[in-house]
Amino acid sequence: MPPLDSVLAVIAAGFALSVTPGPSMLYVLSRSVGQGRAAGFASAIGLCLGGMLLAVATALGLAALFSLFGWLVTVLRIAGSVYLAWLGIGMILEARTNARKDLHTRTVTDRSFFDIVRQGVWVELLNPKTVLFFALFLPPFIDPNLSGSGGGSIRMQMFVLGILVPLTAIPSDLVVAWMGGKMSRTLDRHRRLREVMAWIGGGVLVAIAIDLQLGWAFG
């Protein structure tokens, strides 16, 4: 199992990303507004399942590469922490611009609950940005020194941490699905709140990236 501090850091980073308006939130919002709460819930479940499948695939694929090329762990840990900082700084720099934009939902075709779940899975699986996110997001939180202990393999660490990422998005996605159009109207009215949310989320990501670097330097 991964160290507790890694688990907490992943939960914090995942939550910071999930509460900031983005493509996934707008997808759930469009379904909720266009077809009702049940459809919004279905889309949130589909996105979560798709994220879990990507987490498993990433864990299996990267763990296999790490077993062949041990130096790749260090390279991706550094690249991943830089990626986290880049995401955070981007959220902060774009906070005011994004807050001024209206949240637009798109027209959706009515589908059954299970069709929407299946669509959500494919939306997540076929998103190249999500694949890149998992490949760069997970390695910084891996402790290669645990690879020799029982249950502490790199594969298991990546699997557990990867599963946590889509799970952290479920609460915010369900809230968006429940509130539907009221959510978009609220966020559009309170643009300063959206800006503050982006600042906080970006700050959390940058802080985690810095902490990871300091931990490697002095740990």
pLDDT digits (tens, 9 = 90+) for 180-203: 767 667 666 777 877 887 888 888
Is 171 within the bounds of a domain? Answer: yes
For the stretch 110-131, pLDDT in tens is 788 899 999 889 888 887 677 7
Q: What is the DSSP letter of 138?
A: S
Q: At what angle do helices 128-137 and 37-68 cross, to 10 degrees?
A: 50
Q: Are 139 and 116 in contact (CB under 8 A)?
A: no
* Structural domain total, the chain: 1
* Residues 90-117: tens digit of each pLDDT: 888 887 786 777 666 666 677 888 999 9
Residue 93 lies in a domain: yes
Asked whether the predicted pLDDT for residue 149 surpasses 60, the reply is no
Left (φ > 0), alpha (ψ -120 to 50) or beta: where does 104 sit?
Answer: beta
Q: With DSSP H G I counted as helix, E B as strand and the rest as coil, what are the percentages for the chain, rounded to 5?
A: 80, 0, 20
Distant-in-sequence, close-in-space partners of 118: CB < 8 Å, separation ≥ 6: 46
On whether residue 134 sits in a domain, the answer given is: yes
Among residues 187, 183, 207, 209, which one has the least CA distance to residue 196?
187
User: Sorting pLDDT into bands at 50, 70 and 90, what band is 151?
Assistant: very low
Mean pLDDT taken over the chain: 81
Residue 140 lies in a domain: yes
Is position 219 within any domain? no
pLDDT at 102: 63
Mean pLDDT confidence for 29-49 = 87
Q: What is the pLDDT of residue 48?
A: 92
Residue at 113 is within a domain: yes
pTM across the whole model:
0.76
Residue 114's domain comprises 4-214
CA-closest candidate to residue 7, choices 142, 134, 148, 136: 142
